[in-house]
Copies of this chain bind each other. A is one copy, B any other.
Amino acid sequence: MENQDKKRDRIIEIALKRFAHYGLSKTTMNEIADDLSMSKALLYYYFPDKNALYSTVINQLFEVHAIEIKKEIDQSASSAEALSIYLRKRHEFIKKYYILLEFNKSFNKESFAQKQNSFSTIRAKEKSFLTNILAQGIQSGEFKIDDPEKTEALIFDALLGIRFVVLEYNNSPQPDDELFNTILEKQQLLSDLIIRGLKA
């Protein structure tokens, strides 16, 4: 059993490297099996398909990321600072794993649906994380928010929307680093403005 867990961890580790370098769509299960000197059959024993493996990789990555954020947030002096840390860390995470998250790919309905599925666990955690920060800010009297859950969804949608708009304006099928940085910069500006707006 322990050996099985080790093998599984090793697959995740190697897959992460491939996905981080080439992205989901340009990585095959064959390549991952080759990297591991493992038969394809054995690889499929652990992960039924590429999407399942991808989903596991990003969920595990996000776990580590969430622990790091929590450590920093626990030391923050205010809810506004906590929210600011969260959003900055989120930007850093996206920037670091830009290719893995396939943010260099154009947005299309099919890949969006597929990714929404892979990201659903992360999205749920992110949601409770953010909603908690907002709720604490309300309790301490620092934030003035009627509905923390609605506000959480609004922040998320507004940040995602900036991405859609920048991609549409530039009509770019494969946004390069520069365009990606434009998106992050605009999202950062909007985050700052929203945080100011939440204050009571």
Contacts and interface: CB of A to CB of B under 8 A. Distances in A.
A192 B193 CA distance: 11
Nearest to A195: B197
Interface in A143-200: 150-151, 154, 157-158, 160-166, 168, 171, 186, 189-190, 192-199
A51 B169 CA distance: 21
A161 B164 CA distance: 6
Nearest to A198: B193
A165 B157 CA distance: 6
Given A195-B197, A197-B196, A168 B158 contact: no
A160 B154 contact: no
Interface size bracket, A side = 20 to 34
A109 interface: yes
A190 B158 contact: yes
A11 to B, nearest CB: 32
B154 A190 contact: yes
A50 to B, nearest CB: 23
Contact of A165 (B109, B164, B168, B192): B164
Contacts of A193: 151, 154, 194, 197-198
A99 to B, nearest CB: 22
Given A193-B194, A194-B193, A197-B194, A166 B157 contact: yes
A162 B157 contact: yes
A168 B162 contact: no
Contacts of A158: 158, 161-162, 190
Given A197-B196, A198-B193, A164 B168 contact: yes
Interface in A69-119: 109, 112-113
